[in-house]
Structure 1
Amino acid sequence: MFGGKFKALAGVVAAGALALVVGASAAPASAVATPPDGAVTLYSGVFSGQSQSYTPAPGCTALPFAAHAEFNFSPVGFSVYQSTDCTGPALYFPTNDFHDFTDFDGRSIQFAS
């Protein structure tokens, strides 16, 4: 007597659970905006939090926050430094690249010449 109704209810519950899982997993991917072409975008978190985009320019640029991730869609590589004056320990990122670096506080950047 309950066999058919129970199977139908179980199917509806399973479909709803699948929709919730698929919907939940798709949401975070849309949270990160695509960085502009020709620029580097730095993030305070792992592609989250504060963000700022920079186009290639000569010299050193101090950052308004500690950077922990980058999208490099610029035509050149760049270095991110732990100091605010582009000296000391640095990480280099080539063009068309994205990385996170949570164990490194990026405080300034300098584009390759």
Structure 2
Amino acid sequence: MKIRPALGAAAVAAAALAVSVTPASAAQQTSASDCRQGQACFFETTSFGGKSVVYDDVPTACTVLPFAPGALFNWSTEDVLLYRTADCSGTPSLEPANNFHSYPSTKFLSFRAG
């Protein structure tokens, strides 16, 4: 019986660790002009609109995106590797630091620093 609480505590600890790599802001409506130097800003639409999520630091660990972005404004100092899978497996697409790009025909589900 004591094993189950220990597993529960481990699950809570794992969830807390996962929360530590959450974005600087939850998905919200912003524009590309709201993206600041040093940030990576993902947008729902290819015209850099709709929902957005901002990361102050590009994480080195695989990070699942809250939606499949139509565009990325990578104003960070890190290259961003984008993946079509939620676990950063497969061949990544590179978005260089200080660059922006839209993705009209590709849906990315996760990313990490390159």
Instruction: Give the shorter-chain TM-score range.
Output: 0.5 to 0.7
In the superposition, the TM-score normalised over structure 1's length comes to: 0.67
**Normalized per residue, which structure has more helix?**
1
Kindly indicate which of the two structures has a greater share of residues assigned to strand. Answer: 1
4+ runs deviating over 4 angstroms: none
Count residues with an aligned counterpart.
82
With normalisation by structure 2, the TM-score equals: 0.66
> Match for residue 48 of structure 1?
49
Give, in angstroms, the shift of residue 58 of structure 1: 1.8
Gaps of at least 5 residues in structure 1 are 1-30
Quote the offset at 1:32 in angstroms. 3.8
Residue ranges of structure 2 left out of the alignment (5+ in a row): 1-30
In structure 2, give the amino acid aligned to 1:71. F
User: How well do the aligned residues superpose, as a CA RMSD in angstroms?
Assistant: 1.3
Quick one: distance in 2 between partners of 1:33 and 1:67?
A: 17
1:1-113 aligned at under 5 Å gives the runs 32-46=32-46, 47-54=48-55, 55-112=57-114
Residue in structure 2 matched with residue 26 of structure 1 by the alignment: none
